[in-house]
Amino acid sequence: MGMPGKSFQSKLEPHFDLILEAKRKRQTWEAIAQQLAAQGVATTKQAVHAFVKRRLKRRYPLGMAPAPSSVTTGNLPQSEKSAPEPPELTESPPPASEFATDPLTKPIKGKPKSKWTVFKPNP
């Protein structure tokens, strides 16, 4: 038996389309969180990012998908849309020279910098 009542729904759910549109315009998570705060929704950039990541991963059972929003691409059902054809390759790439250095695999000169910022509490 399930618990009675409504299941949890994020306070960001009503703003999903606005968040997606802002991301399409290449806005940062922080800028989006500030926009939502201006609309009275207290949130953090991490919460907005986690919400979108979770929401985009969600899969709906057959027939349970929500009504399409304004961001759909056309009005044909998915089965009638054809996948774009891959381009025809007319020329093969040049053979790799064993003497030339690949710029993507060159060793980095100088001291390597850490990719992670470690926050330590003050003593």
pTM for the model: 0.44
CB-neighbour burial class of residue 110 (10 A; exposed 0-12, middle 13-18, buried 19+) = exposed
pLDDT recorded at residue 58: 75
The one-character DSSP state at 80 is: G
Answer yes or no: are the C-beta atoms of 29 and 46 closer than 8 Å: yes
Domains in the chain: boundaries:
13-71
What is the C-alpha separation between 17 and 75, in angstroms, rounded?
18
- 39-65 pLDDT per residue, tens: 998 999 999 999 999 888 876 665 566
- 110-123 pLDDT per residue, tens: 666 666 666 666 66
pLDDT recorded at residue 8: 78
Answer yes or no: are the C-beta atoms of 22 and 35 closer than 8 Å: yes
- 72-104 pLDDT per residue, tens: 444 455 444 556 676 676 777 666 666 666 666
